[in-house]
Every structure is written in structure tokens, then in C-alpha cells.
Structure 1
């Protein structure tokens, strides 16, 4: 079951999505979760009042140092290897990690 999403989280997600449109990023859905894609590759998504990002090792470790950030487990009992979830309280960092994720999946 997907966590509830606040209007504040949706607004912050919309800012990130709009900021990446010029790079060819489009909105989509993965497993019922709003996500951002470039081509067929997912780079970020919304999970409750947080955003998830697919990151390479160094930016991922930096992201995990943010208060409340953690490896992303979509509810299957084990975290996804390259993914980190960053809470709404750290939404000022979302654009930075979205850009990192875009660069990573575009390689």
C-alpha cells in the first residue's frame, strides 16, 4: 500500500519535475508510484512525503547522510541497491539529487 502524499510534497515534486523537463525528463508511473523518466529509465519517484532517487555510490552515500534519508525499500523487505529515499523535510536537496540521478541513468 502506498503511503499518503501531502499537498506540500506534491508541490515540491512538481518543482523538481518542471526543472528537469528541458533535459527530456517526463512524468510517468512505476508500480503505482509517480516517477520521473528519461527514455525508459526511471531516475526518481515519489513515495509518500518523500522522493526516491537512483544514485551512484558517492552521491548515494552523501544523500544517506541527510537527516531522515535511508535506503529505499518499497515494502518488499529489502532495500533497492542504488536507491535512496529523501524525506520532505529535506526537499531543498531534491533538485540536486534529481540532477545527479539524471546524469547517472543517462550514462
Structure 2
């Protein structure tokens, strides 16, 4: 993961930290799944994985973004892509903040 990617994610965390119910990643504590994630009401809505932004969105929205070549369904290492999770392609021009806010609204609903 590049410093630029990490800085971009940190800026996203700073931007979304004030949203209602949001918990930001902690530099302390156990290193487990979701420890580097943005959460709302204790549920993950955005995280950084392998240098890519991963967001939870409605399945139809993920299908749309995958079809447009903006990313792929996220696979958490179990060999099964997750239907409601998008791993944004590093070359995508889509703004991270917009997608993360979409994910926040989806998970919060």
C-alpha cells in the first residue's frame, strides 16, 4: 500500500468522522478484520484493503459499478466475492468520499 493511498484514506476518515454514529479506525487494539474500517452503529461501511477502498453498497449498485469497470466484488480471502461489497479499482476516478457516504447511508438504513 502506498503512502498516497494511506493518506487518501486518512483524509476520508477525517471527513466522515463527524457523521452521526461513525466510529473511526483505531491505531490501538487487536489487528482483526474491520480494525482498519469506518463503522456506523458498529457495522463496517468502508475500509482499506490491499490499497483499495472497499465499500458496502446495495447489490444492484455494486453490479452497476462492476459493469462500468470501476471495481470488482470484494473477496475477503475465502474465494467467494461478496455481493454487497465493492473493491474500487485503483485507477477509478470515482470520488472516495461520495462512495463512502453512499455506503454510510446504506449501512445506516
Structure 1 residues without counterparts, runs of 5 or longer: none
Larger Rg: 2
Aligned residues: 103
TM-score scaled by length of structure 2: 0.80
d(CA) in 2 for partners of 1:34 and 1:57?
23
Name the counterpart of 1:11.
Answer: 7
Q: What CA RMSD, in Å, does the superposition of the two structures yield over aligned residues?
A: 2.1
Does the CA contact (< 8 Å) of 1:33 and 1:46 recur in 2? no
User: 1:88 deviation in Å?
Assistant: 2.9
Does the CA contact (< 8 Å) of 1:72 and 1:83 recur in 2? yes
Name the counterpart of 1:86.
Answer: 88
Name the counterpart of 2:28.
Answer: none
User: 1:99 deviation in Å?
Assistant: 0.5
Corresponding residue to 2:74 among 72, 75, 84: 72
1:11-90 aligned at under 5 Å gives the runs 11-24=7-20, 25-28=22-25, 30-31=32-33, 34-67=36-69, 69-90=71-92
Does the CA contact (< 8 Å) of 1:26 and 1:38 recur in 2? yes
Q: Which structure is higher in strand share?
A: 1
d(CA) in 2 for partners of 1:99 and 1:59?
14
User: 1:92 deviation in Å?
Assistant: 4.6
Structure 2 residues without counterparts, runs of 5 or longer: 26-30
